[in-house]
Structure 1
């Protein structure tokens, strides 16, 4: 059974059994979330907006080295581990718009992930946190699939202004270097010079604000665009240059606000 949050302008649907993901977000009558139709994309990650915890993006060969031990994570993207463990689990509803999930093995620590959805007058605030009572490495993120086309208006125009990009090697995973952004299409991680803005001319404009400095942009599909805040780039566990200077962040928030145009 899904949960529904609504106010005068916004209606959100959450499915606790599918990673407590946001399966629908309607603002001013427009459904902004969609599903990628490509058969090459795993259906478990192809729709809505879902949490990535306790890691976001890919981990090379599903292998995590921690405290002198090697941990094997599920290889769900070829030989790599992808997008954590939370998006395929059933979460417990603990309050209106609030969900929790206990995560342990095969992750090396045990903790609680918390996901909350709060309606705003003109959009939604989403918060995801991970608490394992340690300072072990982790990364968390949110993965929305935005429609390229709404029921009215022009095709999506994304204003992203990438400032630097995480270089990917021939295997598609980070090399550990930051480089100047290259032209899209992208399946890449960036630091941006400005807040992302998504515009459907003649219909709606969304502004995306986040606590994170890192954004993954995936705009290769014909029908969807992903703009994902993450606390660290994919596979940062293997690359000291991509890791935070202090403690690993254990939470991220995303605010989606809209105006009709």
Structure 2
């Protein structure tokens, strides 16, 4: 039996002529988002799944895979040498706890190699012109630092017409060092190409426009977004609750009375 035949079936959501498929067995990754006949997410290629995956319990790179929680020092798997990148949620089988025609919720329990107990919940709600993503991390035990975010791979070109154009107004850019981590300095935003974190204190607001075809606006109440456009096939707009290496530089605690919660919305309009 082929690997495709063995593949765990995804959960299909639909609203109007919009369809979304998410696979809880593959890190709760959104495999496909089709707006009408148009697929907007990069599809699997050369063994890489792409789509859109949740980043949890950290986002981006953690320096040398090490983070400190008070006097405790923890080592994470170095999966993007020399750093640990994008969390463990994308490598985990999630459980489906709710689904209907246009919404679904998934959970998984934090476990090794993450050193703390907790539970992650990811909810997707689809309408004919929006997708709302909500993620939370809760604990009933020890408090710990964590981050959540989303890593979509939007197709640079939808198969016809011009490449996507990105538009956003950031208050600052985190200066990136040679190690791809923020140096701690905030600078005026630089022009593309980007693999960079930007600050938007009034909330993330980035518009992707495929001229005469489609516009997608990515918004979130969070103030951090990583924009990556260094590959020819896709661009990434990643709302998240802190900057890369934020477990060390800007820790946000999950406590028994104060879970970490975040949301992002993609809203679209057709231009053709």
TM-score in terms of structure 2 length: 0.87
Match among 105, 116, 129 for residue 98 of structure 1: 105
Match among 245, 257, 261 for residue 267 of structure 2: 257
Given the alignment of the two structures, is residue 34 of structure 1 paired with residue 37 of structure 2, yes or no? Answer: no
Instruction: Write the mapping of 1:60-79 to structure 2, written as runs, cut at 5 A.
Output: 60-79=63-82
Q: Answer whether contact 2:168 2:205 (CA < 8 A) is retained.
A: yes
Partner of 1:186: 194
Q: Deviations over 1:34-70 (max 9, x none)?
A: 0486x7xx93xx5111111110111001011113121
Partner of 1:120: 127
Q: Deviations over 1:178-221 (max 9, x none)?
A: 11112221111001477211111111111111121100001000
Q: Deviations over 1:139-166 (max 9, x none)?
A: 1101100001113332101112232011
In the alignment, structure 2 segments of 5+ residues that lack a partner are: 1-8
Partner of 1:200: 210
- Rounded to whole Å, the distance in 1 between the matches of 2:192 and 2:123 is 32
Equivalent residues, number: 254
Secondary structure of 2:145's counterpart equals: coil
Q: Provide closer, same or farther for how the CA distance between residues 83 and 111 of structure 1 changes in structure 2, counting only shifts above 3 A.
A: same
In the alignment, structure 1 segments of 5+ residues that lack a partner are: none
Partner of 2:167: 159
Match among 112, 115, 118 for residue 108 of structure 1: 115
Cα offset for 1:77?
Answer: 0.4
After the TM superposition, which parts of structure 1 deviate over 4 Å for at least 4 consecutive aligned residues?
A: 242-249
Secondary structure of 1:100's counterpart equals: strand
Q: CA RMSD in A?
A: 2.2
Partner of 1:53: 56
TM-score in terms of structure 1 length: 0.90
Q: Answer whether contact 1:210 1:254 (CA < 8 A) is retained.
A: yes
Secondary structure of 2:174's counterpart equals: strand
Cα offset for 1:123?
Answer: 2.3
- Rounded to whole Å, the distance in 1 between the matches of 2:254 and 2:107 is 26
Partner of 1:175: 183
Secondary structure of 2:219's counterpart equals: strand
* Structure 1, 221-230 or 173-182: larger mean CA deviation: 173-182
* Structure 1, 246-255 or 89-98: larger mean CA deviation: 246-255
